[in-house]
């Protein structure tokens, strides 16, 4: 079954070219009739943020026999952001209608987006003026990505029918439950999580020490309610805990406007000599 309008889609990720979430998303979009090009890291590049490869060459090659035959796929030695840059500059003949990133194996909630290679790949598309979507399954344990892929397909179809008025970056998290247990879709705001992090000291076979970063969520920070258009807007952390699919519009402008006002009001704007 195909959707009403075929789009040109670029798909990337940070889990690597052989990740099941990526394959599920790409094949679902191809089955819906979209033209799908995949450009992904040749290995897992999670938590690389928006890093770029500047001091070594980027190598890329076509990948066969992994995806639906209708999918064109490339493996790239670079970061997720590299992959999208490379695709837009050296692979695609025309700009894609949308950039998709995922389906990530694990959540990208709250401040996780600052580290996420998945979100950074989508943000690279947004920086180029292309509406982009990061999609994550909010658990590392389950490996059933089809509900997330089905939602992505529905969202892409809606964007084809009702395009956004300007390019946007949407961060999607899908609860790791069966489709019939998903409560609905929540338009949310970015939440906040606190982690406990330790560097575990270990020793290699030659007796030399090394350190491995380990961390786990210890609490989700409750935040004051935010009213928009007369209704409360939950955080993504809150909504995902209630089995909602969350959609958080993100932006790359990190300017703190309230702090600008404070600095001006308290004479931090020193006159030049």
Predicted pLDDT of residue 272: 60
Please say whether the beta carbons of 32 and 158 come within 8 A: no
The neighbour count for residue 172, using CB atoms within 10 Å, is: 27
Spatial distance between the Cα atoms of 138 and 242, rounded to a whole number of angstroms = 12
Predicted pLDDT of residue 108: 94
Given the DSSP bridges, would you call strands 184-187 and 244-250 parallel, antiparallel or unpaired?
A: parallel
Residues of the chain with pLDDT under 70: 1-2, 195-197, 215-225, 227, 229, 270-273
pTM: 0.89
Half-sphere exposure (Cβ direction) of 132: Cα atoms closer than 13 Å: 28
Q: Domains (ranges, CATH) in the chain?
A: 8-188+226-258 (3.40.1210.10)
Predicted pLDDT of residue 10: 98
Rg (CA), the chain: 20
DSSP string, 182-247: --EEEE-B---EEEEEEEEEEE-TTS-EEEEEEEEEEEEPP---EEETTEEE-BHHHHHHTTEEEE
Predicted pLDDT of residue 212: 76
Predicted pLDDT of residue 13: 97
Token output for 62: 């076509």
Predicted pLDDT of residue 270: 66
């Amino acid at each position: 079954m195909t959707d009403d309008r075929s789009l040109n889609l670029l798909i990337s990720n940070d889990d690597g070219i052989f990740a099941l979430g990526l394959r599920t998303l790409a094949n679902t979009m191809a089955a819906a009739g979209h033209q799908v090009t995949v450009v992904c890291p040749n290995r897992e590049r999670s938590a690389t943020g928006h890093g770029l490869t500047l001091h070594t060459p980027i190598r890329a090659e076509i990948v066969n026999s992994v995806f639906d035959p209708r999918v064109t796929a490339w493996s790239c030695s670079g970061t997720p952001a590299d992959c999208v840059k490379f695709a837009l500059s050296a692979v695609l003949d025309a700009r894609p209608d949308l950039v998709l990133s995922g389906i990530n194996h694990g959540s990208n909630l709250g401040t996780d987006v600052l580290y996420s290679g998945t979100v950074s790949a989508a943000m690279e598309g947004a920086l180029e003026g292309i509406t982009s979507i990061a999609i994550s399954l909010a658990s590392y344990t389950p490996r059933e990505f089809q509900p997330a892929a089905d939602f992505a397909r529905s969202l892409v179809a809606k964007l084809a029918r009702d395009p956004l008025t300007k390019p946007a970056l949407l961060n999607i998290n899908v609860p790791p439950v069966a489709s019939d247990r998903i409560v609905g879709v929540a338009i949310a705001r970015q939440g906040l999580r606190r982690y406990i992090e330790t560097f575990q000291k270990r020793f290699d076979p030659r007796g030399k020490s090394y350190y491995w970063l380990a961390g786990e969520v210890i609490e989700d920070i409750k935040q004051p309610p935010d009213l928009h258009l007369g209704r409360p807007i939950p955080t993504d952390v809150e909504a995902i805990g209630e089995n909602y699919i969350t959609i958080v519009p993100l932006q790359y402008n990190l300017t703190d406007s309230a702090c600008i006002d404070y600095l001006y009001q308290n004479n931090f704007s020193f006159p030049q000599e």
